[in-house]
Structure 1
Amino acid sequence: MWESVNCEGPSLCFHAGSVVRDCFYIHGGVTSRLSSEASFQLWKFDFSSLNWSSITSSGAPNCSHHVAVTQHDRYLILIGGWNGKSRTSDVHVFDCVDETWHHTRTIGFPEGAGLSSHTATSLRDGNFIVTGREGGLRTQRRAGSTFKLSGDASRRGCSFQYLDTSMGIASRSGHTACPMTQGRLALLGGRSDHLLEYLVKVPVTIDVHPKIVEKLSCLCTGLRPCPKPPGGRRNHVSVSVGEMVVMHGGETFDGKAKAAVFDVWVMDVRGGGLKWLKVGQGVGDVARAGHVVCVARDNIFIHGGFDESGRTRNEVMKLS
C-alpha cells in the first residue's frame, strides 16, 4: 500500500509542508512527539531527483504545530504554531526562488492568543481560511475559531491581516481541512466526536487530480461502504481531489492514546451521497501521526510523523 521513496530525510513530527515548483518544502517541527523544542530548519525534497537538501538561509523561525501554504507557486507561507515558548499567530514568508526569508507584519488576531494544530486552506482570491482552536487566553471558547487571512507575499514588507469570521464550528485541534466541490470545506477529526463538519459557501481552491481520481474510483468499486464513519482522530492527514478525500493515520480516542494508527479511509461524496470506504489492511501498512502530506506528480506522499511505537520517522512514502 505504502511504498518507500526516500529514507534519508530529517526525522520530524508536527512539522509543516507544502509543494512549491515541484519540490516539497518542510519546515520546523520537533524530533520527538513529547518535545517542546521547535526547530527552525527548512528542507527541500526534489521530486525530480528524489533527494533532500537543507536550506540554511538566515531568518528562519522556530515553529512546530504550524501550517504551510503556497502562494503564486513561489512563496512558502508559514502560519501560527508553537515557537518554543508560546503559541503565536505570526506569518512568515520564504521566497523559494531567491531562497530568502521576508519580513512580514501580522495584524488583526486577538491579543493574548495564538494558533497551533490548526489548518489553512487557499481561497480563489489568493487569500486563506484558517480554522481551529486558539491557544492562550481564548482556549476555553466553546466554538472553534475561523479566520480569513489576507495578504500578498509578493509585496516586500507586506502585512497579513486576520479577520474573525465566527462561523461557529465545533472546537477542533489536530484536524484537517479538505476543499470540496460546491464551495464546501470539509473539516475532519480533531476531536473525539463529530468527525465530519462542513463550512459552506466558502470559495475554496480545488485540485481535482484526474489520475488520482481514476485510481480511487477503481479502488472504490471493489469496496463495500462501511455502515458508520471512522471514529474520532487527531494529528492525521487528509487530501481531497474534488469529490473524494483520502484520510490516513493519526491518533484515535478509543483507548490507544498517543499510539499512531495505520488506517486509510476514502470519503466519497460523488453523486450527492456520502460513503466511507476503508482500504484493505495488510502488507505495506504504515502507522503515522503528526506527519505531513502532499500531492505531486499525480501521487500522494507523506513524510515523517511518529509510528505506533512513538518513534519519529524520516521516510518519504508514496501511496501506491
Structure 2
Amino acid sequence: MTERAVIDLKPEDLVQDADASVLSTIQYPHKFELAAKFYERSSDVLTSLHVDDQLLLYSLHQQASVGPCNTPSPHLWNRVERAKWDVWKQLGQTSKMEAMFLFVRTLEEVCPKWLMWKGIQAEVKAALDGEGGEQAADALQSPSSRRMEAIPRPEGELTAYRTWIGGLTTGTPPSPRYQHSCTVVGKYMIVFGGHGTCFLADTHVLDLESMTWMSYDVENSPSPRAGHSATLLDEEHVLVLGGHGGNGKFNEIHILQVEHGINTMLKKSERPILTWTRQEISGPYPINRGSHCAAEHQGSVYLFGGESDERECLDDFWRLDLAQQTWERCPIEGCPSKRMDASMVRIGNHLVVFGGANAQTQLADVFVFDVPDKRWRKVSPIEGPPPEPRAGHACVLHGGRMIVMGGGNGAQGLLGMHIFDLETEDGEVKGSWSILRAGYAHSTSCLTVAREGAACVMHDSKLFLFGGFNGRYLNDVMMLRLERDADWALRVQDGSVEELRDACRLLREDLAREQKEKENFKQELNRLRTEHATVRAMLAQLEKMYYNSPAATGNPTPSAALQRGSHHSEGWLVHAMRILTSSWMGMLWGSKEEARIHPDNENQESPLEVA
C-alpha cells in the first residue's frame, strides 16, 4: 500500500502566532475560496504529492467551481488530460457544496497547515472580517488576548424534560471540531481528536456534574486523527481505533486510562488522571480506515465498514480479542453493504448498524448482528415513520433503545430525533421507529441537532451533544433531559451502576404501586360483593311479595332477571330491580284499587309496610 505524502510547509512560509480556534470559525463557502486560492498559488508545492492526490484535488476543485463534468473527453494519447477528465467524470452529480467540503478536507489531510500559509493571509483576514469583524482578525495575530468567559448557568431550565438547553459549561472549551470522539467514564466526558482547521490530537475532559471543562497535555497521546472510534471497555479504559489523517493503522491500538487522583485530605481530587498507552497487535489486521463504527461485547470489540485511505467505502467485519490482542475477520454473509459514517450500538447480544453513506447516496437501513449465532440479518419491514437517509449522525443508547439524531443527506444537516426499538422473539428480529419530540431553549443560541460529525453521550438520563459541522465547525454543548420510568428500567441491561440502581428503584416503586392498586381492587370487590348480597336479599323479598300478589298475572316474570343477575354483571341486577320495582308498584296500585272496590280489605297490611 502506497503511503500518502504529507506536505510540511516551511516555518518561514507560515504565520507562527495564528490562533487555530479563530481560524476554525471561517465558514463555507469562504473556507473553500481560501483553499482554492492556496491550491492555485502553491502549485509548485503540491507537485510533491502522490499523483492520486493531485488528481483528486483537481477533480474536486472542478466539481465545486464548475459543476458536473459535461465537457468532451480528451483524446486517449493525451494521457494527463484524459486522466484528469476521468476522475472529474467519476464524481457524477456530486453537489457543489459536498465537493467544496471534500476538497477542503482532502487539502487539510495532505497539507495540514495550509490555512496559515503567508500567501493567503490577506484573504484570511478578509474572511475573518466578514465572519466576526476586526476583533476576529486581531485575535488571529494575538491569541493570548482571547479569554473564555464563564457562561452563567440558566436558572430553571435544568428541570425541563425533552428540551435542549445550552450555555451550561464553564472553563475553556475545546476548539471547534467534528468527527471527534466523546466517551463517558464515570461522571466525565472524554473528548479526543477530531478535525477543525487541521487534524487534532488533544484531549479534553468535561465534568458532567459541575459542567466544567478541563484541558490535558498527556504523554504518548495518539497522533492527530478524525473519524476514529472510541469504545468504552470498562469503568476506567477507552479504546481508540483508526481514523483519518494517515494514522488509521490497526496493527496498533491506543488505550486511555481514566482514574481519580488520590488526595489525603479530600480522598478524591476533582481532576482525573489520564494515561495513554500504545499496544502492538500481531497477525492479520484490518486495512487503514476512518469513519467506521465499533462496539464492545464481552471482552471483544467489533468493527465494521468505514472509508479507506484511498477513499473507498468498506464492508468488512472484524473482531478484536482484547485478552489475546488479536484480530479475527468475521463472516460477512448478509452484512450491510459498503458504507462509511454509519452508527453501531449494542443492545443485549445484538449489534445494531444504522445508516451511513456510500459513493452514491445516503442510507437508512437497519442491520442486526447476532453475536452468539454469528449471523447478520436485515430488519425489514420496520413499523413506524423511518428517519430520512443520513450519514455522520450521532447515536446513543437509552433504556435499551437506540436514539438517532442529526447527520446530513449530502446537501444539508438534518433535524429531528428518532428512536429505534429492537424486539427479538424465537430467533426473529423486529423493529419499530418512533419520533422523539424535543424543543429548544433560548440558551442554545439558535443551534440545533442539524449537524454532521457531532458526538453524543448519555449520563444520568441526560443526553449531551458536543461539536459537529453545520457549515462551520462547532464546539458547543447542548443537553437534553429524558424521563426514566418502569418501561425504561425493564430495558436497561448493561448500564452503569447508577443506572442499574435507579432501574431497581423504579421497578420497586412500580411494584409497590401495583400492589397498592391490587389492595384497592380487593377492597372494591368486597364492597361490591356485600352490596350484591344485599340487593339479592331485597330482590328475594320483593319477588316473594310479587308471587303472593294477584297483580303478578300478565306481568314480566322477574325470576329470569334474577337468575341472569346471579351469573352476569351488575347491570342485569339493575335490570331485575327495575322489573321487580315496576311489578311491586303495580302490586301496590293494584292493592289500592282492590281496596276501593272491596271495602272489607281496609284493615289488610299495605305492601309498602310489608316491604
Q: TM-score range by the shorter chain?
A: 0.7 to 0.9
1:108-134 Cα deviation digits (max 9, x unpaired) = 4447x212111111102x221111235
Gaps of 5+ in 2: 1-162, 260-272, 373-381, 442-447, 482-611
**In 2 relative to 1, CA 2–107 (structure 1 residues): closer, same or farther, beyond 3 Å?**
farther
Contact 1:108–1:163 (CA under 8 A) maintained in structure 2: no
Aligned equivalent of 1:165, options 323, 330, 335: 330
1:155-188 Cα deviation digits (max 9, x unpaired) = xxxx73221103233212101112224x221111
Match of 1:195, SS state, is: strand
- 2:292 maps to 1:118: yes
Contact 1:179–1:242 (CA under 8 A) maintained in structure 2: no
2:188 match: 23
**CA distance in structure 2 between the aligned counterparts of 1:38 and 1:91, rounded to whole angstroms:** 18
- 2:478 maps to 1:313: no
Contact 2:384–2:434 (CA under 8 A) maintained in structure 1: no
Counterpart of 1:129 in structure 2: which amino acid? Y
Contact 1:17–1:67 (CA under 8 A) maintained in structure 2: no
2:177 match: 12
1:244 match: 401
**CA distance in structure 2 between the aligned counterparts of 1:42 and 1:92, rounded to whole angstroms:** 13
1:195 match: 364
- 2:435 maps to 1:278: yes
Match of 1:252, SS state, is: coil
Contact 1:9–1:316 (CA under 8 A) maintained in structure 2: no
Counterpart of 1:175 in structure 2: which amino acid? A
**CA distance in structure 2 between the aligned counterparts of 1:316 and 1:140, rounded to whole angstroms:** 31
Aligned equivalent of 2:451, options 269, 279, 288: 288
Gaps of 5+ in 1: 153-158, 204-224
Whose Rg is larger? 2
1:67 match: 229
More strand by share: 1
1:212-237 Cα deviation digits (max 9, x unpaired) = xxxxxxxxxxxxx9854122111101
Contact 1:299–1:318 (CA under 8 A) maintained in structure 2: yes
Aligned equivalent of 1:58, options 213, 219, 230: 219
By how many angstroms is 1:302 displaced? 1.1
**CA distance in structure 2 between the aligned counterparts of 1:267 and 1:163, rounded to whole angstroms:** 29
Contact 1:12–1:31 (CA under 8 A) maintained in structure 2: yes
**In 2 relative to 1, CA 260–140 (structure 1 residues): closer, same or farther, beyond 3 Å?**
closer
Aligned equivalent of 2:419, options 266, 270, 284: 266
**In 2 relative to 1, CA 140–118 (structure 1 residues): closer, same or farther, beyond 3 Å?**
closer
Aligned residues: 278
Match of 2:302, SS state, is: strand
**CA distance in structure 1 between the aligned counterparts of 2:237 and 2:438, rounded to whole angstroms:** 38
Counterpart of 1:25 in structure 2: which amino acid? I
Aligned equivalent of 1:146, options 305, 308, 317: 317
By how many angstroms is 1:136 displaced? 4.0
**CA distance in structure 2 between the aligned counterparts of 1:230 and 1:43, rounded to whole angstroms:** 32
Contact 1:176–1:189 (CA under 8 A) maintained in structure 2: yes
Aligned equivalent of 1:176, options 336, 343, 349: 343
By how many angstroms is 1:55 displaced? 1.1
**CA distance in structure 2 between the aligned counterparts of 1:277 and 1:51, rounded to whole angstroms:** 34
1:133 match: 306
**In 2 relative to 1, CA 103–118 (structure 1 residues): closer, same or farther, beyond 3 Å?**
same
Counterpart of 1:184 in structure 2: which amino acid? H
**CA distance in structure 2 between the aligned counterparts of 1:173 and 1:136, rounded to whole angstroms:** 12
By how many angstroms is 1:26 displaced? 0.8
Contact 2:241–2:248 (CA under 8 A) maintained in structure 1: no
Aligned equivalent of 1:96, options 248, 253, 258: 258
- 2:365 maps to 1:185: no
Task: Please report the TM-score for the alignment, with normalisation by the length of structure 2.
Answer: 0.42
By how many angstroms is 1:75 displaced? 1.6
By how many angstroms is 1:139 displaced? 3.4
Contact 1:174–1:190 (CA under 8 A) maintained in structure 2: yes
State the identity as a percent. Answer: 22
Contact 2:394–2:407 (CA under 8 A) maintained in structure 1: yes
Contact 2:294–2:344 (CA under 8 A) maintained in structure 1: yes
**CA distance in structure 2 between the aligned counterparts of 1:171 and 1:148, rounded to whole angstroms:** 18
Match of 2:452, SS state, is: coil
Counterpart of 2:164 in structure 1: which amino acid? W
**In 2 relative to 1, CA 174–128 (structure 1 residues): closer, same or farther, beyond 3 Å?**
same
**CA distance in structure 2 between the aligned counterparts of 1:239 and 1:14, rounded to whole angstroms:** 15
**CA distance in structure 1 between the aligned counterparts of 2:191 and 2:283, rounded to whole angstroms:** 27
By how many angstroms is 1:194 displaced? 5.0
Task: Please report the TM-score for the alignment, with normalisation by the length of structure 1.
Answer: 0.77
1:73-114 Cα deviation digits (max 9, x unpaired) = 1122211112x3354324111222252221311234447x21
Contact 1:236–1:247 (CA under 8 A) maintained in structure 2: yes
Contact 2:395–2:456 (CA under 8 A) maintained in structure 1: yes
**CA distance in structure 2 between the aligned counterparts of 1:247 and 1:46, rounded to whole angstroms:** 24
Higher relative contact order (CA 8 A, sep 6+): 1
Contact 2:248–2:289 (CA under 8 A) maintained in structure 1: yes
2:281 match: 106
More helix by share: 2
Counterpart of 1:260 in structure 2: which amino acid? G
**In 2 relative to 1, CA 66–286 (structure 1 residues): closer, same or farther, beyond 3 Å?**
same
